């Protein structure tokens, strides 16, 4: 495998002035330093409208003429997660993925992840909202912990996986653990 610093990108894809301006404003509102790397990363995630691993981000940026090392990608991901610009998703059997929040800066974000295809869908509502204070009280009393927030991710089957009949135990509609293990080990 050729080291990333020696690979030649086909051509540098320019970021539109409008996109760069929007991203610059977003970074400033989040009190993050505006850098070319951050603008390019956020533009990539915005254009792709998907969640990507750090390696996928580095590879895509390099291919588009914005070479960046993986350490810089990870460092920027950490800072943008802290600023609530990105949201992270755990896909079983795969690397952590990040994506641009639909409402950047908002501390609340939930997802559904398809255990068969890895497809990710965002959920606009928080079902824990109605019982948050109760949950905080119960956990404080039972464990002594003071909850300051939560991360919620649902796992299930997307409509395409259901239609294909993938990943379900025969006749039950529930995930087939054996099939999931075989699929994960094949990756």
Q: Please list the pLDDT of the chain residue by residue as tens digits (187 residues).
A: 444 444 444 456 678 888 888 999 989 999 999 999 999 999 999 998 888 999 999 999 999 988 899 999 999 999 999 898 998 887 777 788 998 887 766 666 677 888 888 788 877 677 777 788 898 899 999 999 998 877 777 888 889 888 888 655 444 444 554 454 455 455 4
User: Which two structure tokens, joined as six digits, stand for 157?
Assistant: 């089957």
- In the block, tokens 């993986």 appear at 70
Residues 34 and 82 in one domain: yes
Using a 10 angstrom Cβ sphere, with 0-12 exposed, 13-18 middle and 19 or more buried, the burial of residue 90 is: middle
Residue 112 is assigned to a structural domain of this protein: yes
Q: What is the CATH number of the domain that holds 49?
A: 1.10.10.10
Q: Provide the edge-to-edge strand list for the sheet that holds 120-123.
A: 120-123, 110-114, 152-156
Residues 83 and 3 in one domain: yes
- In angstroms, the CA 148 to CA 165 distance is 40
Determine the structural domain holding residue 150 and report its residue range.
108-187
> Beta-strand (E) ranges in 35-83?
none
Judge whether 27 and 34 are in contact, CB under 8 Å. Answer: yes
Structural domain count, the chain: 2
- In the block, tokens 């204070």 appear at 133
Global confidence as pTM: 0.66
Residue 103 is assigned to a structural domain of this protein: no
- In angstroms, the CA 162 to CA 82 distance is 35
Residue 95 is assigned to a structural domain of this protein: no
Q: What is the CATH number of the domain that holds 162?
A: 3.30.1490.190
């Amino acid at each position: 495998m050729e080291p990333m610093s020696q690979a030649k990108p086909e051509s540098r894809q320019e970021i539109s002035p409008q996109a760069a301006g929007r991203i610059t404003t977003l970074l400033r509102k989040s009190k993050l330093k505006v850098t070319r790397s951050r603008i390019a990363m956020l533009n990539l995630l915005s254009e792709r409208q998907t969640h990507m691993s750090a390696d996928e981000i580095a590879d895509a940026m390099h291919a588009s003429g914005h070479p960046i090392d993986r350490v810089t990608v990870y460092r920027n991901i950490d800072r943008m997660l802290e600023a609530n610009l990105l949201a992270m998703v755990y896909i079983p059997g795969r690397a952590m993925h990040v994506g641009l929040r639909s409402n950047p800066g908002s501390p609340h974000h939930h997802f559904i992840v398809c255990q068969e295809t890895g497809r990710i869908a965002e959920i606009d509502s928080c079902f824990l909202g109605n019982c948050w204070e109760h949950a905080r009280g119960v956990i404080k009393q039972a464990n002594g912990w003071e909850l300051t927030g939560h991360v919620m991710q649902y796992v299930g089957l997307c409509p395409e996986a259901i239609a294909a009949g993938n990943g379900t135990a025969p006749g039950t509609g529930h995930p087939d653990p054996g099939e999931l293990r075989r699929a994960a080990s094949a990756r």
